[in-house]
Amino acid sequence: MNNHIITEPSKTIRALGRQTLQGYWGTALIVVLLGTAITSLPGFILGRLTDSSILHLLESIYNILVTGPVNLGLAIFFLKLFRQQGPQINDLASGFDFFMNATSLYLSVMVRVLLLSFLFVIPGIIASIRYSQSFYILADDPSKPAAQCMYESAVMMEGNKAKFFWFNVSYIGWYLLANMPQSMVTMRYMPDITMYSPEQIYNAAASIASNPLVTLAGLCTIFVTVYVSAGHAAFYDLVSGNLYVQQDPNQVNY
C-alpha cells in the first residue's frame, strides 16, 4: 500500500469535515450521544448504586465488550457522512455486526498502547497516533483482522504522525470553550479547600462528578466531539489516498 504524506494545513482539514456536517449536525449529535451512553451510562448508574468490587469488574468487562463495536460504528457513520453516502443513526449499531473483529482490534490497540505507556508517556502517545486509523480501515473492510488494520495504519501514519498530533491540538480552543459551562458548575459546588480535609474534598469531587447538572453541562463537549470526528474522517481519506484537495480547498476529489 502507498504512503500519502498530508501537506494540507489543519485549517483546511477542519473545514472539510465541517462542510460535510451541514444538514447532519442533529443526526451526528444523536449518534455520538448514543455511543457515549452505550459505553458510559451503565458504569455511571452502577457507580451511584454501589461501590462493590464485583460490579466494578463487571463494568470493566462490559466496557471491553462494547467499546470496540461502538468505535467501529462511529467510524462507519462518520466515513459515510464525510463521503456523503447518506449516514443514518443505525450505522452505529452496524459495528456490532462485526463484533469479534472490532473487539479484537480494540484490545490489540489498547494493550499495545498501554504496554508502551508503561515505559514512558511519549511512546504511548506515539503508539496511539500510529494506530489511530485502524478503526477507519476496519470500517472500509470489516473482514480485515486486527493485525492487518494496525499494520496498514502504521504505514499510513509514517511521516504523518506530527501532522495528526498538531491537527488534534488545533481543536484545543474549542474544547476549552465547551468545557467552560461544566467547569463553572463544578466550581459552584466545590467546597473551599482550606476548610476541608483531603479525604472530604475527594469525596465531594466524586459526588460533584456524578451530579446530573454537571453531566448536563458537560454535554457541550459533544458538539466538539462531532466536529473532531468529522475532521478525523477527512484526515483518514486524505492519508489513505482516497481524497485529495485541489488548489481551491472547497473543491475535493475522490
How much is the pLDDT for 241?
87
How many domains are there within the chain?
Answer: 1
**pTM higher than 0.95 for the full model?**
no
- Can you tell me which residue has the cell 486509523? 133
Q: pLDDT tens across 163-198, in order?
A: 999 999 999 999 888 877 766 666 665 555 445 555
Contact 71, 91 (CB under 8 A): no
Higher pLDDT, residue 148 or 43: 148
The answer to the question of residue 236 being in a domain is: yes
How much is the pLDDT for 146?
97
The answer to the question of residue 4 being in a domain is: no
Q: pLDDT tens across 151-171, in order?
A: 999 999 999 999 999 999 999
How much is the pLDDT for 149?
97
The answer to the question of residue 101 being in a domain is: yes
Is pLDDT at 254 greater than 70 in this prediction? no
Closest CA to 102 of 70, 61, 54, 59: 70
The answer to the question of residue 226 being in a domain is: yes
How much is the pLDDT for 2?
66
Q: pLDDT tens across 28-39, in order?
A: 999 999 999 999
The answer to the question of residue 5 being in a domain is: no
Is pLDDT at 97 greater than 60 in this prediction? yes
Note down the domain range covering 50: 10-253
The answer to the question of residue 59 being in a domain is: yes
Please give the C-alpha separations between residue 157 and each of 145, 160, 172, 251, in angstroms, as whole numbers. 19, 5, 22, 24
How much is the pLDDT for 249?
47
The three-point CA angle 21-30-76 to 5° equals: 65
The answer to the question of residue 110 being in a domain is: yes
Closest CA to 234 of 166, 133, 108, 103: 133
Q: pLDDT tens across 59-84, in order?
A: 888 899 999 999 999 999 999 999 99
The answer to the question of residue 120 being in a domain is: yes
